Structure 1
Amino acid sequence: MNRPSRPTVPQPVSAWLQAHPQLAHALPAPDEEWTVREQDMIGDSAHGVLREHGGVRKVGETRCKDGNGAVAVWQVTEAVAAFVEHNVTEPSLTPCGHTGVVNLGDTYTCQTETCDARFDRETALEVLKS
């Protein structure tokens, strides 16, 4: 009996995708073209991992908005999109839309340092269970 193969990507790519599930699920679709500047949520080091190990491919160049030079145009590979779909669980979001729960003693917050949101223990437990 032939079983469909599970999508595979190089280990550094799979490790990054699983360590950053919110970003993995926010990656552009494989048919979308983008520049690193347009996808600033990815960041240079993450883009480097994806680029070095074939998680994204360069599909062209476009002129910089200021007219000085060109920037690369990229696409996420089908393998990465399939890997995320089948292997990366979408993170549970806190009421403020971020991930992670931090206990502040009598209240809770998310793991985003710049966020001031606070929520109660019951809400924290709901986030952790889902």
Structure 2
Amino acid sequence: MRRDEEEYERVVRYFDEDGDGKISAAELRKRLGGEVALEEAEMAIAALDSDGDGLVCSEDLVRLMEEVGEEEKLKDLREAFDLYDTERCGFITPKALKRMLKNLGESRSTLECRAMIGAFDLNGDGVLSFHEFTIMMGSTIN
């Protein structure tokens, strides 16, 4: 079991009063000292519950953190893409790539930049879209 999974198990055990390995809205509300209305606790559980049983288990927490991690990765990729999209056209052009590489201390010809883009240019339009950029960076987006 990974360390983060152990942490989620520990969180579930903290809230889980009846020992079934899952957190109910009532257990969540009680552990929070009754500071939350039952409807709010039910909404929180429903938002985290991935299998529709009305309870939250450690797997639900793992899924949530993976989704958050993917969103963060996507945000970081978008920021990196925007750095290369110096022409602000929504694509990375050979000219923009050449300019950015020069700023990074890498001198490349336009022909070399075209070849670099060509390796990941899935639709053959001569530029990199954000989707193609994510593939180049080793990720995929839907």
For normalisation by structure 1, the TM-score amounts to 0.21
In proportion to residue count, which structure has more strand?
A: 1
Bigger Rg over Cα: 2
In proportion to residue count, which structure has more helix?
A: 2
